[in-house]
A and B are shown apart, each in its own frame.
Chain A
Amino acid sequence: MTVIEVDRLTKRYRETVALDDVTVSFDENIIYGLLGRNGAGKTTLMSILTAQNFASAGAVRVFGEDPYENAHVLSRICFVREGQRYPDDARPPHAFRMARLFFPNWSQELADELVTAFQLPMKTRIKKLSRGQLSAVGVIIGLASRAEITFFDEPYLGLDAVARQIFYDRLLEDYAEHPRTVILSSHLIDEVANLIERVVVIDGGRILLDEETDAVRDRAATVVGDSDAVEAFVRGREVIHRESLGRVASVTVLGTLTDDDRRALAASGVEVGPVSLQQLIVRLTQHRADQSGRDAAEGALR
């Protein structure tokens, strides 16, 4: 079942277009990765979906309704964002008590467990917490709220590798018992690649990729070897990256390699390397930038 529908959504800030005619939907009980560069439009999209920002054009529907000033919808969504503000004199227990009042599925038991896991000092004012501890407050609210849709916008700032692993493990564990829709925006693509069932990549305010994560794992490959052999193989394929060192070429191509492809490559002494989700997204993003640069240049010539 679809829980979020975005239809031709556009958001302009004066000169810049943050979201450009975006159409995308999110289904129930799936963990999504919402990935893309800084300024790609991720936060803008999430803030419009959570009624914290307005669309310039287009429509969004959350649980089939307009989320704006809609308490019925908003109590079912939790948005954990970077730099969340809390009242000046609040301590973590105050923030958790507010969350408990607001979210009908709040689990105090889970919140208490997470406070221990993250070693969060409960008597310190939130204002005085470290960057990582502040992120922990957001992560705890996001997980313990068990909201039907939870947005995590770069939730890990200041969290070290151990604390991030706690977050990932607890997210998977609690999701397995209480399935819900999670939209996780992150720059640490390799860290979240195995957690997300679907990947949505935004670039320049547009959707660049919207697919099952597992299906894109073998979507691209890098072939490395003698440049003549490599060039012969990649002819007619979509090349998204190219490097060379003397006679050796390394070319990343889109498309899943067949067993025949692999045999032919092995026979001609060309090696095949996998392309991680992070590399694929970096390459696709650069490829698109190159292409639109070329299109713009061609447009200028016309």
Chain B
Amino acid sequence: MIEEGRALFLQIAASVEDAILDGSLAEDSRAPSTNELAAFYRINPATAAKGVSMLVEKNVLVKRRGIGMFVAPGARAQLLDERRATFAARFIDPLLAEARALGLGPDDLSRLVRDRAAASTTEGTER
């Protein structure tokens, strides 16, 4: 949900992108309108509109005259590329910094990552 210290329109845009990435908002389906987003997040409609128009500029959403906003074909692949490109900087770098402070090297980290991944897979299959 909404956090402090970051522009709201960016957070609104990111929330729509997340829904496209996890498949809950399929390509070619109708995207939430500005007013729906404003009401859901309890924010000013102009701010929500700014987030939506950013996604239109990025070609993630397309406006269809008279019927509203839709998820553009190819939007998911585009967002995947974009998120993968920033993944290392957003997640690995802080992980490395904390690991360094705790005296854990890259090898310790890769072992931890493998162990945790294995644990979460077995947990998943048991359910």
Contacts and interface: CB of A to CB of B under 8 A. Distances in A.
B8 A197 contact: no
Nearest to A177: B35
A73 interface: no
Contact of A194 (B6, B8, B93): B8
Interface residues of B, number: 24
Interface SS majority for chain B: helix
B107 interface: no
Interface in A275-289: 275-276
Contact of B7 (A196, A217, A269, A273): A217
Contact of B97 (A194, A267, A275): A267
Interface stretch (A39-47, A122-130, A168-176): A168-176
Nearest to A277: B4
B56 interface: no
Given A176-B39, A263-B93, A195 B44 contact: yes
B43 interface: yes
Contacts of B113: none
B94 interface: yes
Interface in B20-57: 35, 38-39, 41-47, 50
A175 B6 contact: no
B46 A197 contact: yes
B95 to A, nearest CB: 11
Nearest to A179: B45
A273 B5 CA distance: 8
A167 B35 CA distance: 17
A261 B44 CA distance: 30
A150 to B, nearest CB: 15
A214 B47 contact: yes
A30 B46 contact: yes
Given A266-B94, A266-B97, A176 B6 contact: no
Contacts of B89: 259
Contact of B44 (A194, A221, A266, A273): A194
A230 B43 CA distance: 34
A117 interface: no
Contacts of B102: none
Given A214-B7, A217-B5, A194 B39 contact: no
A176 B101 CA distance: 50
A269 B42 contact: no
A218 interface: yes
Interface of A: 30-31, 168-169, 172-173, 175-176, 194-197, 213-215, 217-218, 221, 259, 263, 266-267, 269, 273-276
Closest 7 CB pairs of A and B: A274-B5, A274-B4, A194-B43, A176-B35, A197-B46, A197-B44, A214-B7
6 contacts: A194-B43, A214-B8, A214-B50, A215-B7, A217-B4, A273-B5
